[in-house]
Amino acid sequence: MSALVVTLLRFGFLAIIWLLIIFMLVTIRNDIFGTTIRERSRKITTSRPPRADSSPSTPRHLVVVRGPLTGTAIPLGASAITVGRSPDCALVLDDGYASSRHARFYSEGNQWVIEDLNSTNGTWVGTQKIVSPVQLEIGTPVVIGKTTMELR
């Protein structure tokens, strides 16, 4: 092989090593400090079609119905509720399947919406993994790792 080819291969290998190191550092940083919260998008899907005969009721609590924190109830107010492993979350999960800042519940009008915050293992509403903000109905199960919660 010529000296030029060997030099190019060395620089290519060096570039690949540096890209791997940068990728690992970004992953470690996101795991330690969490991901940044972005502006919520306006694309919202509903978890269930609305029923015409039901009277609209407003949920008052986010209740953990399955998992290590079963029975925990967080009152719903005007501010958003962040769920994850980070100590600054409103609901701190001790769950290896949850991300630092996993999901966010927020009020939009008289509806509550859940948004996945680019978590590693995803957030499930009912039986579907969500990819965009989803309006929640009372009693719809939300699964994050080993924890199941719902609005009541």
Comparing 49 with 63, which gets the higher pLDDT?
Answer: 63
- The whole-angstrom separation of Cα 103 and Cα 137 is 17
pLDDT at 41: 56
Backbone angles phi, psi at 20, to 5 degrees: -65, -45
Position 42 confidence tier, pLDDT thresholds 50, 70, 90? low
| Cα radius of gyration rounded to whole Å, the chain | 21
What's the pLDDT tens digit per position in 126-149? 999 999 999 999 999 999 999 999
Environment class of 21 (CB within 10 Å of its CB; exposed 0-12, middle 13-18, buried 19+): exposed
Position 45 confidence tier, pLDDT thresholds 50, 70, 90? low
* Amino acid letter for position 42: R
Position 1 confidence tier, pLDDT thresholds 50, 70, 90? confident
What's the pLDDT tens digit per position in 91-137? 999 888 999 999 999 999 889 999 999 999 999 999 999 999 999 99
pLDDT at 6: 94
The SS3 of residue 79 is: coil
Point out the least confidently predicted range of 33-37, 46-50, 119-123: 46-50
